[in-house]
Chains A and B, each alone.
Chain A
Amino acid sequence: MKVTTLKINGQLVSASPGATVLEAARENGVEIPTLCELEGISNVGACRLCLVEIAGSPRLQPACVTEAAEEMEVQTDTERLKRYRRMTLELLFAERNHVCPVCVANGHCELQNRARENGMDHVRFPYQHPDLPVDITHDRFGVDHNRCILCTRCVRVCDEVEGAHTWDLSGRGTQSIVITDLNQPWGEADTCTTCGKCVEACPTGAIFRKGSTVCEMEHRRDRIRFITDARKKQEWNP
């Protein structure tokens, strides 16, 4: 099995065959910020936070869905990328109603962490302040669309790991919204198994355990990888 050899930030590195640029970077200790990516489920390149520069390509490429190639030269941390990442984060904050101090996930939020790590100290774009609903019709969980960044982790984990496909996307552009079943209240979605994987996978306070108070919602996002690894290794079926 031949490894792929490429350069990341000027360093010659090797990556497993078929690895993405993101995986190659991680294998070699290079951090690239991500939001929609979650170990254990497929990648879709939705959030655009992992954009990298690849020599010879005029466009920035999302590292999570770009396969590492022989002799590829990748830059992950240029001033241009930093500027784009801050802008991407600012746009995410401006798009819906992310009010950290009164959010159930305050202190445990990947969007908040990425903003802090990437130096996003203010938002230059006008806040859109959309009037979006909160659905807590489910017995145990709730979804607040004001805090959703449309990463689709819930859609993927429900489909790929639980196999229920309760979640999906509706609408286009700024009208996009995650929905349960045929855009029914979550409490009336027949396909939902109440497994809670979407709750654990959510990067923000959008999907939460019902009854969570401010700062209280901690997601156990590593549980998804734990399940998929165990399944792959047949740990429960020796």
Chain B
Amino acid sequence: MDIESPAKLIELLDRHAYLADEGLATAAFLALRMGRPLFLEGEAGVGKTELAKTLAALLRAPLIRLQCYEGLDAAQALYDWDFARQLLHLKAAEAAGITDADRLEGEIYDRRFLIARPLLKAIETQPSVLLVDEIDRADDEFEAFLLEVLSDFTISIPELGTIRAATPPVVVVTSNRTREVHDALKRRCLYHWLEHPGFDREVAILRRRLPGCTETLATQVAGTAARLRQAGLVKPPGVAETLDWTEALLTLGAKELDPDLAAATLGAALKYREDVTAVIGNGLLSHG
């Protein structure tokens, strides 16, 4: 697909119901053109993961997702040998009286006994979009290891040789910034800090994503969300949460945001009991 400018990418993303601003579109455009990973940082729910999904849809490429967590290791991220099948194969060879160790070794370290985990899968699948989600949750050793893969898009497997991507996958790395990611990894990437959208953009997003949503409801929800983000909550709602909340309101047939309905559906927007109590206690739902 030919995407000749950031403006064109904004248009294409819009067709897939993702409203990107100039900065994010330029970031994604350069990532596609330069073959560089895109490092998206920002609070939870500002649309980091969603961008990767939309890019995959737009490029008609499968989305391969690696969710990071503490203790994530190579066997979960890269590849693993299928132990059970290898053993079966050895048993079968034993029964057939084959004892030639070299031949057996060649057979059991064959590609068909290799289980591809997300990073290897992304390198083998073309085209593909690789989403490395919440890198800040993984251990810092994992970063070093990811940097190695993202630098030349090759994976070397001692028993099998080196597997190289003919064309590198589109890579989106996201972080909620619960810790600082190593500079070497960031330097390899295009760095973009995603903010909560402004009021107008959020209204536009709600209307674009939820066809049943009236202008009135979208305006009221976005206005309330903006107030909630100023209220010093444990977890201020992101766009993902306002979308869920509006959907919940629509399901209940709301045409506009009345305080009772808002309170009943607040669980879609706020995920901490303290926050719900604070918001209702301070009367933040009665819009003025």
Bind each other: no
Binding site for B on A (CB under 8 A): none
